[in-house]
Amino acid sequence: MRAMLLRQPKAPLTLEEVPVPSCGDDEVLVKVRACALCRTDLHVYDGELTQPKLPLILGHQVVGIVEQTGKTVKRFKRGDRVGLPWLANACGHCGFCLTSRENLCQEALFRGYQLNGGFAEYCLGKEAFTFLIPDRYSDVEAAPLLCAGLIGYRAYRLAGSFQTIGFFGFGSAAHILLQVALFEGKSVYAFTKEGDEKGARAALKRGCIYAGSSLQKPPCSLDAAIVFASDGSLVPLALQAVGPGGTVVTAGIFMSDIPAFPYASLWEERCLRSVANLTRQDGIDFLKLAPRIPVKTEVKVYPLEQTNEALAEARRGGKDGALVITPLPYF
C-alpha cells in the first residue's frame, strides 16, 4: 500500500510502498477513505510529543471501509463504514480501565503516534476502539468528528454546568462544539488572535454572541471556558474571563508552558483542568448526538501525496475548514 512515512521528527513525510498490515484476531483492517489532520499531528511531527514509533504513519481521524475482520470480531463485518480515533487501545484491567476511564490508562496506545495511523491506504483498528460512522456524513465530512469532535466534546462536558462559555482558539474543534452549544441553548463567546478580524467575523456569523481578541475581557463574566489553542499564555486570560466557581478546560494534548499568574485569578473556587484523550463512551455519545443537531463540518481535501502541503497549511492556521487527507480521488 501507499503511505506517507515520518522517519524522523521535522523531516518531510515520504510517500512509500509498505506492506498492508496483518489483521489480528480482535482487529479490523480498514481501507482508508479519509483521514483528517489536526494540531496533534504537528506536535508529533515536531517532536513535542516525545515517544513516537518511528518510522510512523501519522493521522488519527480515520474513516474507511472494513476490508477484513479478525477471528474474534463480532461487532463489524466486511463493508461496514467505521471510524478509528486517537485512542487505539488500552490494557482493559487497570483501575482506570475498570472505571470507564481508559483515556488515563498508563498502557494506552495512540493512533498516529505509537501505532500507525491513517495517512495511508489501509489502517488497523481494535474492535473495541472502533466506531460505526453515521450515514448522514460523507467520508471527508465525518473524519474531523473523530478528534476535533470527540475530544472537543469531552472538554465541553468536563466544563460542567454552564450557560455562558468562552472558546479560546476558533479552529475545527470550536466550530464543531459551537454547534453543540447552540443546539443546547448556550451562549458562546469567541476569543481569537489579536487583529484577526476575519476570524472574529466568522465566529459571529456562525452564532457566537461575542467575538474579540483573547487579550480583551468579555463584556461579562463567563461560567466556563475551553482553551482549544495550544498556547499556554491563554490559560491565565481564560481564568480571568470566568467568574467565581467557573471552570477552564484545556483541550489540547500538548500545550506550551503556562506563565505564572496571581492566585487571585484562581481564587473563588475557579477550576482549571486538562482533558486527556477520549473514552469510548465519549465516542458513542457524540456520534449519536452529532447527526441529531446536525453538526456540519467544513473541509478542505488534499490527496495523500500532498500531505506535507496540508501539514504546512495547518501550521499557518488555515481557515478553510478542517484539512482532510484522502488516498482516493475526491470529487
Length of the chain, in residues: 331
CB 266 within 8 A of CB 239: yes
pLDDT at 319: 61
| Type of residue at 116 | N
pLDDT at 195: 78
| Position 328 confidence tier, pLDDT thresholds 50, 70, 90 | confident
- All 3 cell numbers of residue 289? 448526538
Q: Is the pLDDT of residue 3 over 50?
A: yes
- Domain definitions of the chain by residue range: 2-145+295-326, 151-274
Match 513516537 to its residue by C-alpha cell.
Answer: 52
Output the DSSP codes for 120-175.
Answer: BSEEEEEGGG-EEPPTTS-HHHHGGGGTTTHHHHHHHHHT-S-SEEEEES-SHHHH
- For the chain, the straight-line distance linking the first and the last C-alpha, in angstroms and rounded, comes to 22
Mean pLDDT on 59-74: 98
Mean pLDDT on 24-39: 97
Rg for the chain (alpha carbons), in Å?
Answer: 19
Q: For residue 3, give every residue at least 6 positions away whose Cβ sits within 8 Å of its Cβ, in sequence order, or none.
A: 15, 16, 17, 18, 57, 116, 119, 120, 121
Q: DSSP class of residue 115?
A: B
pLDDT at 331: 45
pLDDT at 330: 57
Q: Is the pLDDT of residue 320 over 80?
A: no
User: The domain 2-145+295-326: what is its CATH number?
Assistant: 3.90.180.10
Q: At what angle do helices 150-158 and 172-183 cross, to 10 degrees?
A: 50
Q: Is the pLDDT of residue 146 over 60?
A: yes
Distance between CA atoms of residues 91 and 102, nearest Å: 8
3-class secondary-structure state, position 93: coil
- All 3 cell numbers of residue 264? 487571585
- All 3 cell numbers of residue 64? 474507511
Mean pLDDT on 93-112: 97
pLDDT at 318: 62
Fold of 151-274: Rossmann fold (3.40.50)
pLDDT at 171: 87
Instruction: Give the predicted TM-score (pTM) of the model.
Output: 0.94
Q: Over the chain, what is the mean pLDDT?
A: 95
Each residue's pLDDT tens digit, 268-305: 999 999 999 999 999 999 999 999 999 999 999 999 99
Each residue's pLDDT tens digit, 165-214: 999 998 899 999 999 999 999 999 999 988 788 888 989 999 999 999 99
Q: DSSP class of residue 80?
A: -
Percent of the chain with pLDDT over 90: 92
Each residue's pLDDT tens digit, 214-266: 999 999 999 999 999 999 999 999 999 999 999 999 998 999 999 999 999 99
Beta bridge partner(s), residue 302: 325
Q: For residue 288, give every residue at least 6 positions away whose Cβ sits within 8 Å of its Cβ, in sequence order, or none.
A: none
